[in-house]
Amino acid sequence: MIVSALEELRDALNIKEKNAKLTLKHNINKKTAFLPFQTRNPERAKFKDGFSPVLGQFFRYVESVGSNFELEKEQLISEISTDVVMDETDRSHFERILEDYLFQANSIRVFHPIMYKYIPLSDSKEAKGENEIAQYLYNALLGNDTQKFKEILELQESEHVLSRLIQQHMPQLPEEPSSRKYTASFSFIRDTFQQDLKTLLTNKEFFTNHIQLFLAYYYFYSASQLILKINQFEKMDATSPTPIYYNLDWEASNRNRLATTTGFKIIMENARKLLSHVNTLEHLNIIMGTEQLNYLELHKQFEQLDEEEQRRMIDDVHKWTMEYSEIVLGNQNEIEKKTVFKESYRQLQQQLSKGLKLETKYRYALAINEIGKVYFLKTRGSLGNTLNVTQDFLILLTALSVKDNKISLKQLFVEFEKRGVFLDRYSKEEVVELFNKLNLIEKKSDSGDAQYVKPIL
């Protein structure tokens, strides 16, 4: 039996009759999974331990292993110690050295990238949110391509003898094939992420020191851009980042600066509308028989249909808008029969937005705030939260932008923007001043017009 799109949609939203009244349950991430945001507060990642739990799960996805393991510190140290022949009077001293080398504040110390997979998820409901973010990074940005990590995750013969000894005794994690859930991020983000990852992998020490910040930023950046683009419906520009401005951590700001007027404030305004768009795209993909398509892609798909199919599609969107409005809002009074596809799904989005509780929409939007406040936001009194570039983040951005050959100062700021970090002229002046102090600027003329930034890696 062929099930119609509307019947499939009714089934997906679990429409039932209760007390002589129809009810439904909003469901997302069935036909479309764009972002790893949670609608329930306890499951939302709060990053009390930074990005480490996400990082650990990300590397378990990379190595296709499960997260069901426990590290017993005393047992592990004892097993390693037993395997080493020494004078028994030295054993307790050796075990203290081993503990200091292997553990840091009761968590595993990453002395080599091969150890990342032993960083556990949080011991709370937040583990669900952390796991989802890790899978998002793996699916949407890495594209499940684990080959990139092959060399850096191998333990070389030249490694410290203690490192090799520890690795031989670390527990074998169960194999667990990684699945694909989240749709690929915009190509302009995904391609740059993969180029930057390749650069990062050329220097093991820099990689180890910055991989956590690197992944946290690309999660924040890709999520922020989707939030901004999705609110533009089919008018979104899917080829380049929407400009959002940052301040530098150490500079003063004011309410006229671009970081205040066109910064995090814009992201949050759009984020509070996000859940209604996520629901709308879920419904549209079911109606159109597609998966993982955004408004722009759905619109292109619609234009390839013949006239009769287009009319049927608009009619199905209209019927569903009427049905949803009756069930959730109790009336169909405001619904108009549209003849243009984009007008029909805009009307559906408006009705879905009305059908969602304000606190649910705001709670869903908090996911972008949670990651932002750990790494990329600064509270500036009456100005509120502004996007923020710390010196460490600036060094990472610069290393990725310059790579192994010097580039002009002008090109450096173009590269920053390619990675979603826009700076006004005051911030750019601050960057130049700092780079001069760090001896990262090379001047090709006495006038200083031709200025180049030296490689960091």
Single out the residue of 171, 167, 166 nearest to residue 94, CA to CA. 166
Q: How confident is the model at residue 330 (pLDDT cuts 50, 70, 90)?
A: confident
pLDDT reported for residue 367: 96
| Residue % of the chain over a pLDDT of 70 | 97
Query: Is 267 in contact with 370 (CB distance < 8 Å)?
Result: no
The angle that helices 161-169 and 88-102 make with each other, rounded to 10 degrees, is 80
DSSP 104: E
Quote the pLDDT of residue 445: 65
Higher per-residue pLDDT: 259 or 69: 259
CA-based nearest residue to 393, from 210, 220, 125 = 210
Quote the CA–CA distance of 41 and 44 in Å, as a whole number: 5
Q: What is the pTM of this model?
A: 0.94
Read off the pLDDT of residues 390-401 as tens digits, 9 standing for 90 and up. Answer: 999 999 999 999
Pick 106 or 220 by higher pLDDT.
220
Separation CA 36–CA 127 (nearest Å)? 12
**CA diameter of the chain:** 87
Please give the average per-residue pLDDT across 40-45, as a whole number: 92
Q: Which of 92-96, 101-105, 232-236 has the highest mean pLDDT?
A: 232-236
When comparing pLDDT for 21 and 283, which is higher? 283
> How confident is the model over 6-16, as a mean pLDDT?
89
Name the least confident of 77-81, 246-250, 324-328, 397-401: 77-81
Question: What is the distance between the alpha carbons of residues 396 and 398, in angstroms, rounded to a whole number?
Answer: 5
Does 2 have pLDDT greater than 60?
Answer: no
Output the CA–CA distances (angstroms, integers) from residue 251 to 217, 262, 397, in the order listed: 21, 17, 18
Q: How sure is the predictor about 449, in pLDDT bands with cuts at 50, 70 and 90?
A: low
Query: Would you say residue 3 has pLDDT above 70?
Result: no
Write down the domain spans for the chain.
5-30+273-361, 41-185
Q: What is the pLDDT of residue 339?
A: 93
For range 339-361, the mean pLDDT: 95
pLDDT for res 111: 84
Place of tokens 């684990």: 146
Confidence class for position 1, pLDDT limits 50, 70, 90: very low
